[in-house]
Structure 1
Amino acid sequence: MWFLVTSCCGLGTALLTSFPIENLLRYILVLPLFGAFVLCAMPGNAVKLHRVWALAISLITLVLCTSLWASFVPCATEPFQQVIGFSAGWQGLVLVRLEFGIDSLSLWMILLTAALMPLAVLCSWTTQTSHSMSFMALLLLLESCLFGAFTALDLLSFYVLYECSLLPMFLLIGLGGSGPRKVRAAYLLVLYTLVGSLAMLPCMLLMWSQAGSTSFLLLVHENWEPARQLVLWWGLFLAFAVKVPMIPVHLWLPEAHVEASTAGSVLLAGVLLKLGTYGLLRFNLSLFDYANAYYGPLVMCLSLIGLIYASLTTLRQVDFKKLVAYSSVAHMSMVTLALFTMSDLGMIGATFLMLAHGIASPALFLCVGSLYDRSHTKALKYLGGAATAMPLFSIMLFVFSLCNMAMPLTPSFLAEFLCLCSIFAHNGAALFLALIAVVLAAAYSMWAYARVVHGMPKPYAFKALADLNRREFWCFVPLILMTIWLGIKPNAVLDSLSTSITFWHQASLATKETAPATWALALL
């Protein structure tokens, strides 16, 4: 394993010396897709070759993304850098130009995706043997689609890549899932997301008919009429609300997590849910300032309901994996609640919470996967006493349980503190309800940890009780390092995020106080 990591780092360094820095984004977008095509050409029974190739491609991609981050310099006047475009036409009648670029927001989403992909490959190292070629190729294809969605500067290309990310996830649940309802869970994921996206495409076409373009760089300067904003805003919001997910369109998420493999849950919680909040922050909050102020109280009400409801529902779960899934719904509700305070502080805190959740939640799903590989059950009543024979696992679960409940010196603490400060500046009653959810988060995190780690071990569940092996340990090490780094030195993220978010939301701040509020303001 160490030889493979060292070889990939050396190959990544060689690629960096031969490729110009300004073309890094192009190679990052294409490399996972190239790796997926090569995998499909390999023999179907070469299981070890499939795993090694997928891990090598994901590690090289991570090295390229790290180099892209090292060369990125935030600019207050020109947030997007390394903008690349691909043009295609047909007899002068149809002209399509796809634009991709990075700013601070998309850069951190790319880094999160690239960091989680090798972990998804490693945690599937011994479990995915019957469909290893298809499974690993789908992981790389999903990575390429996510890179494209996070960097797309054209609304139609974003829509296509946003929908394309569904197909690999659908097949990953179907191929890698272990539960009897995995096909139903995969169809729930696709149907919920497709129904929400049906409203997004007509709205994008309406924007194209008025502005003559679907380029985000042009649409952000378009003067939309207030009445038209109120219609267009709903089309985008419905699609992103399903992906977040917000109450009441959240029912697909616990089902998908329970039936998916560990790798599927890691990517679903770590990255795919962030597509919804990324879309809200990138498009809704940047394009429709009047509609944001008009519908903002309604979204905050829905977020508060989802925050309290998901926290209480998490407390009564008896399945460890479903407990972590419902906690994700609660944390993402906190993100949307802070986003629609429409303040710079709230948006920066919400984005940082997205990154913190993208570290803690995949780590907890890795813990669930490690337990399931040994005991073949996720029911909490059959788990217990892990500290007696699994001390290393117990330490990992303890650290990430603290991160999930937002203890100081973890990134979740600072992220939730920034979110709560923005909520307090907006509305005191909303802060009171959010604080109740914070207390509930501590309750269900410690309750689950105590049920799994303490007490008497259950010999009928743990027939071969063993601590983390070397491969599982190295899955946790990067997440531990990122947690410590972001918890102690959050300025590495916050400084760059503030530059991009402040640039894009000046207009929203200027019109927030003058736009009328909806009836939902009375509920706050």
Structure 2
Amino acid sequence: MLNTIFLLDVLLLAIIPLASVKTAKELSLIIHCLMFLIALCLWPLGSIVKISTITGGYGDILEIFWALRFNVDMVSYPFLLLTTLLFPFCIIIYWNHKKEDMKGYLLTMTIIHLLLVIIFTTTNLFIFYISFEAILIPMFLLIGKWGYRERKILAAFQFFFYTIIGSFFLLMGILYIYYTRGTTDIEILYITKFSNNEQLFLFIAFFASFAVKIPMFPFHIWLPEAHVEAPTAGSVLLAGILLKLGIYGFIRFSIPLFPYANSYYYPLIETMAITGIIYSSLSTICQIDLKKVIAYASIAHMNMVVLGLFSHSIIAYAGSMFMMFSHGLVSPALFISIGFLYDRHNSRLIKYYSGLAHLLPLFSIFFMVLTLANFSFPFTSSFVAEFLILLGLWDTSPFATIFASSSVILSLLYSLWLMNRILFGPISPYISSHNDLVWRELNILLPLMFIILFLGILPNYFLSFCIFQI
């Protein structure tokens, strides 16, 4: 079934340039929805599904092509499912925009989708690195071409250079592994031992790249700017999937390959993560742009995920995976909601909006539920995730738990402050029109809100399949 996802992506790349705009949009939406259904069908198949795409005898070429083996297990599956889930929404978001831009947009989205599927399924470090870097190009175009404001080029360059500089260290680490171990196949490396000194060097090489992608403090500067300048679909991909590439790298490579370094560097990681949580939460309160509020909140949530991953607690690890998936639903849904406001009023300034509950009741219901989920209100997926992280963290580091718990209070403050300012109070004099959500917009927000509430009430559906079968 995984082969089918690759074939559908490649088919889209071939069809879109030849088809009319209307046909390209419809085919793209249908195929991206099929990709999600195929990924969803992998859910009950068990712990491991492996596919080898190259067989036969081609001499020396076979050794190169053998790197193109793909693997879906309970580590990569949540990331793959989240990827295929969000792309149909990214197509619907841009449905009514300018026709001359549509084909290029669809091609860019398909290339990003294909690269993400390769990243989350390859068993080869070198192929992972190539895809990890290649995704910068379409994301640069997405921000630079389809962004909203004049600073979009600067934001695209910031995103590009921060990531490419961090990834230079990852390349050095991969080359060292290849020249000393003779392979970059992750399944072989899992049973290969690295000396303590090697682990210390390699962990930093990998960490430098993954920490920028998450992003951890102090490598977070590029994210708020990229979110503000990116189109709504770009923010959805950044918050929902791109930030998860660093988390996936830690889980797939750093944690299993370098156990000694994980323990050695844990105080450093713990300090960086707690600093990131507190700093970004306080920064969120100071923002005047709706997108920057959600962007800084994302930094706090992702640093909480890192704190749980390296805590040496299976409960905190489970919470981190849950938080990763939950954040990939809540944050994109909030960016989509803000995008709907921007489409109507061409402003993301908080002071521009007030009293929306009187004018846009449907929008206000969705925004309120998503805001509650953003600060981990009970019966939402984020509550289960954050509770598990703090519960597991207490067993290993009570001191860190106390500081990390500050995020609960701070997220409550900035979330309620934001919701109160834009939904309640007197109606803003700046709002001249008040069109509520249309059917297309409801089709985006309803499924996301349903999944957030469903996983908050029945979290075992995620935990049993995607965590405890590893």
Question: Which residue in 1 is equivalent to 2:11?
Answer: 34
| 1-structure distance, mates of 2:160, 2:58 | 32
Q: Does 1:354 align with 2:335?
A: no
**1:49 alignment partner, one of 23, 41, 52:** 23
Q: What whole-Å deviation, never above 9, does each CA across 1:448-486 have from its counterpart, x for those lacking one? A: 1111111222243x2321100010011011101211221
What are the ranges of 5 or more consecutive residues in structure 2 without an aligned counterpart?
Answer: none
Q: What whole-Å deviation, never above 9, does each CA across 1:97-133 have from its counterpart, x for those lacking one? A: 2221111121111111111111111111123533110
1:359 Cα deviation (Å)? 0.5
Q: What whole-Å deviation, never above 9, does each CA across 1:141-191 have from its counterpart, x for those lacking one? A: 111111110111110111111112211111111221111111111111111
1:68 Cα deviation (Å)? 2.1
Letter in 2 for 1:385: G
Q: Does 1:487 align with 2:456?
A: yes
What are the ranges of 5 or more consecutive residues in structure 1 without an aligned counterpart?
Answer: 1-23, 75-79, 502-524
1:388 Cα deviation (Å)? 1.0
1:443 Cα deviation (Å)? 0.8
Question: Which residue in 1 is equivalent to 2:468?
Answer: 499
C-alpha contact 1:306 1:329 (8 A) present in aligned 2: yes
- Which secondary structure state, in structure 2, belongs to the residue aligned with residue 130 of structure 1? helix
Aligned structure 1 segments of 4 or more residues deviating by more than 4 angstroms: 87-91
1:232 Cα deviation (Å)? 0.7
Q: What whole-Å deviation, never above 9, does each CA across 1:199-229 have from its counterpart, x for those lacking one? A: 1112111111222211111101111110111
- Which secondary structure state, in structure 2, belongs to the residue aligned with residue 101 of structure 1? strand
Question: Which residue in 1 is equivalent to 2:108?
Answer: 138
| 2-structure distance, mates of 1:47, 1:464 | 30
| Structure 1 residues 216-231: aligned runs within 5 Å | 216-231=186-201
| 2-structure distance, mates of 1:482, 1:35 | 28
Question: Which residue in 2 is equivalent to 1:317?
Answer: 287
- Which secondary structure state, in structure 1, belongs to the residue aligned with residue 16 of structure 2? helix
Letter in 2 for 1:83: I
Question: Which residue in 1 is equivalent to 2:347?
Answer: 377
**2:41 alignment partner, one of 60, 67, 72:** 67
Compare 339-348 and 393-402 and name the one that shifted more.
Answer: 339-348
C-alpha contact 1:103 1:500 (8 A) present in aligned 2: no
- Which secondary structure state, in structure 1, belongs to the residue aligned with residue 50 of structure 2? strand
C-alpha contact 2:15 2:24 (8 A) present in aligned 1: no
**1:197 alignment partner, one of 147, 163, 167:** 167
1:93 Cα deviation (Å)? 8.2
Q: 1:449 to 1:196 in 2, by over 3 A?
A: same
| Structure 1 residues 92-111: aligned runs within 5 Å | 92=60, 95-96=63-64, 97=66, 98-111=68-81
| 2-structure distance, mates of 1:34, 1:99 | 20
Identity %: 38
Letter in 2 for 1:49: T
C-alpha contact 1:135 1:175 (8 A) present in aligned 2: no
Normalised TM-score (structure 1) = 0.87
| 1-structure distance, mates of 2:17, 2:264 | 50
| 2-structure distance, mates of 1:90, 1:329 | 47
1:89 Cα deviation (Å)? 9.5
Question: Which residue in 2 is equivalent to 1:175?
Answer: 145
1:342 Cα deviation (Å)? 2.1
Question: Which residue in 2 is equivalent to 1:86?
Answer: 54
1:91 Cα deviation (Å)? 6.4
RMSD: 1.6
C-alpha contact 1:131 1:175 (8 A) present in aligned 2: no
C-alpha contact 2:312 2:396 (8 A) present in aligned 1: no
C-alpha contact 1:155 1:204 (8 A) present in aligned 2: yes
Q: How many residues align?
A: 468
1:425 Cα deviation (Å)? 1.0
**2:236 alignment partner, one of 233, 254, 266:** 266
Question: Which residue in 2 is equivalent to 1:364?
Answer: 334
Normalised TM-score (structure 2) = 0.97
Question: Which residue in 2 is equivalent to 1:293?
Answer: 263
Compare 301-310 and 80-89 and name the one that shifted more.
Answer: 80-89
C-alpha contact 1:344 1:498 (8 A) present in aligned 2: no
Q: Does 1:149 align with 2:123?
A: no
